[in-house]
Amino acid sequence: MIGLGTYAFFWEHSDRSPDPLPLVGAFERTRELGVELFQICDYAPLTGMSDREVGDAARAARELGLRIELGTKGIGLDHLERFLALAEAFDARLVRSMVFGPDSRPTLAEAGALLRAILPSYESAGVTLALETYEQLATDDLLGLVRDADSTHLGICLDPANVVARLESPRTCVEQTAPAVVNVHAKDFAFDRQPGWVGFTYSGARMGTGLHDYRHLLDTVRPRERGINEIVEHWLPWQGDPETTIRTEREWTRATLDHLRSFE
């Protein structure tokens, strides 16, 4: 399925918005766009919600006909157990995370031990843990953690845009990870030359106008044949004022959905 995530509403959720969009508002907007999947990813208010608030949000998603996935950072046992409980509340079948969290940077050996300790609980619950490709860990090392864990409930969340900051090739990352991918973050990206020709800025681009060869990703990973969800995100730079930024964010979301659907 093609879904939206909280990063598709990054600025509209933020305190820079004159009227920040609540989580259920993002659910409603998602359904208005004809989308039936939403990934609550790195959404800070989630872990501060009471059980009642979580229950209300989960009920709203069900009533709207939305499937939910979750996303966080870090693989500490207590943290991943908390997200497993949240997954149960939302009936989510996937939790995306990153090896490093805000307050933790385990070694590869420590990360392997943490994953082996938590995976039996995820397996029993029928929830898959997806570790995202990103610049803080070499893709080879991330794949090693997945291979060593040897679990059908651990895989890769593929975001080839992230690895450029490590001087890895997005195309190579797609090809390396393809067999282990269980989730895809879909956004485009590009370099822009700075004024005076003194360097570049690397950031998001309207889908289909940047450097991401999405056809190559589809052909290599085959997410639609394998039942792997594609979650729309953006790296939209601030556009100078809230109104322009939020309007552009909404336009990018529609453009990304149209682009992804054009391959169907």
Tell me the per-residue pLDDT of 162-209, one tens digit each, with 9 for 90 and over: 999 999 999 999 999 999 999 999 999 999 999 898 999 999 999 999
For the chain, the average pLDDT equals: 97
Rounded distance, CA 129 to CA 83, Å? 10
Confidence of residue 123 (pLDDT cuts 50, 70, 90): very high
pTM assigned to the model: 0.96
pLDDT digit string, tens, across residues 11-69: 999 999 999 999 999 999 999 999 999 999 999 999 999 999 999 999 999 999 999 99
User: What percentage of the chain carries pLDDT values higher than 90?
Assistant: 98
